[in-house]
């Protein structure tokens, strides 16, 4: 079973977690000034990277907390997990 | 043979507060992934209080969830093996020593797993899931019984 390192609980089984989409999305400070295309880009368009991706995960059947992870979308390998607000790690070479 | 027993109903309160405010309630605040007889750690700044809660000195959220959970108590030497039929956690003594407490899953039900002592394990589960959990535990026990 795939083990994921929760920053608070340590290594836990994958089925305790939920994937919550791309991480590090910043809500525009003043949405009223954006064009429809820019707003649509913020709301709906994601990188969907083939390779290393920074994602939000939630330890939903554990401590309940959100955290960020650096995961390879082809191999499912987790390179790092880190708490929200922490700087993102660089992908392994 | 592991004894599976339904616990009598108990009062409990969900507390969300900073660790400093939680400490003003009286009982010692358990470290992450552990529990005391009065207080179970569920997550950062989240605890389950057993019994009547005190009054916190500071901003806190206290929600009476006494009717939410049913408790199951497991006694016996094979309890960890039985639990591992449905729970993916490492329940060996080194990884989950007595005093440990965490939310996890058993089958498709979310449970709070608490090990108050070496020989006793407690499962707190949402009321509507308790027949499911009980049936699953009895089935697992039948699977593990030789012959």
Same domain, B71 and B126: yes
CB A40 within 8 A of CB A48: no
Q: What is the pLDDT of residues B2-60, one digit of tens each?
A: 999 999 999 999 999 999 999 999 889 999 999 999 999 999 999 999 998 889 999 99
Residues B23 and B46 in one domain: yes
3-state secondary structure at position B135: helix
List chain A residues with CB under 8 Å of B33: 9-10
| Burial bucket for residue B92 (CB in 10 Å: 0-12, 13-18, 19+) | exposed
* Per-residue model confidence as pLDDT tens for chain A (93 residues): 899 999 999 999 999 999 999 999 999 999 999 999 999 999 999 999 999 999 999 999 999 999 999 999 999 999 999 999 999 999 998
Give B 19-48 residues with CB within 8 A of chain A.
Answer: 32-33, 42-44, 46
Structurally, chain B folds into a number of domains equal to 2
Element (H, E) at B73: strand B69-75
Looking at the fold, whether B33 and B72 belong to one and the same domain comes out as no
User: Are B80 and B138 found together in one domain?
Assistant: yes
Looking at the fold, whether B99 and B85 belong to one and the same domain comes out as yes
Average pLDDT, chain B: 95
Q: Which of chain B's residues have a Cβ under 8 Å away from the Cβ of A65?
A: 43-44
A49-93 topology per CATH = Folate-binding fold (3.30.2270)
Per-residue pLDDT band at B146 (split at 50, 70, 90): confident
- Reported as a single tens digit per residue, the pLDDT across B81-117 is 999 999 999 999 999 999 999 999 999 999 999 999 9
Same domain, B46 and B91: no
**Residue ranges making up the domain that contains B20:** 12-64
Structure tokens that stand for B20 in this block: 């400093």
- Which pLDDT score, from 0 to 100, does residue B125 have? 97
Return the residue of A nearest to B45 by Cα.
A63
pLDDT for res B1 = 83
**Same domain for B103 and B136:** yes
Compare all CA atoms of chain B with the CA of A13 and give the residue at the minimum distance: B88
Q: What is the CATH number of the domain that holds B137?
A: 3.30.1360.120
Is residue A55 helix, strand or coil?
Answer: strand
Tell me, rounded to whole angstroms, the distance of Cα A9 from its chain centroid: 17
Tokens of B98: 């007595």
Q: Which ipTM was obtained for this model?
A: 0.91
Asked if B75 and B137 sit in the same domain, the reply is: yes
pLDDT of A93 reads: 82
B29-64 burial, b for 16+ CB within 10 Å, e for fewer? bbeebbbbebbbbbbbbbbbbbeebeebeeebebee
Q: Do B103 and A13 touch (CB under 8 A)?
A: no
Same domain, B28 and B87: no
Mutate to test the interface with B, among A3, A4, A6, A9 (most CBs of B within 10 A): A9
Give the residue on A whose Cα is nearest the Cα of B88. A13
What share of residues in chain A are helix, strand, coil (percent, to 5)? 15, 35, 50
pTM: 0.92
- Determine whether the interchain pair B104/A16 forms a contact, defined as Cβ–Cβ distance below 8 Å: yes
Same domain for B139 and B71, yes or no, is yes
Last residue in a domain, options B64, B86, B108: B64
- Cross-chain CB nearest to B110 (options A61, A63, A65): A61
The domain ranges of chain A are: 49-93
For A56, the 3-state DSSP assignment is strand
């Amino acid at each position: 079973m795939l083990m994921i390192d929760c920053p608070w609980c340590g290594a836990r089984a994958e089925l305790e977690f939920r994937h919550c989409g791309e991480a590090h999305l910043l809500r525009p400070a003043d949405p009223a000034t954006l064009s429809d295309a820019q707003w649509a880009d913020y709301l709906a368009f994601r990188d969907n990277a083939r390779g290393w991706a920074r994602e939000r995960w939630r330890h939903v059947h554990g401590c309940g907390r959100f955290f960020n992870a650096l995961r390879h979308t082809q191999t499912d390998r987790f390179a790092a997990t880190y708490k929200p607000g922490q700087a993102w790690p660089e992908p392994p070479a | 043979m592991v004894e599976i027993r339904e616990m009598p109903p108990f009062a409990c309160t969900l507390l969300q507060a900073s660790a400093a405010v939680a400490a003003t309630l009286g009982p010692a605040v358990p470290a992450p992934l552990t529990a005391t007889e009065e207080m179970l750690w569920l997550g950062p700044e989240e605890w389950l209080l057993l019994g009547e809660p005190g009054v916190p000195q500071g901003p806190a959220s206290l929600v009476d969830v006494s009717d939410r959970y049913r408790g199951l108590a497991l006694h016996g030497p094979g309890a960890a093996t039985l639990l591992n039929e449905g729970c993916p956690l490492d329940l060996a003594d080194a990884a989950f020593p007595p005093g440990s407490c965490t939310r996890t899953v058993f089958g498709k039900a979310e449970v709070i797993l608490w090990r108050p002592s070496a020989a006793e394990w407690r499962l707190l589960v949402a009321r509507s899931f308790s027949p499911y959990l009980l049936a699953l535990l009895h089935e697992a026990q039948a699977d593990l019984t030789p012959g």
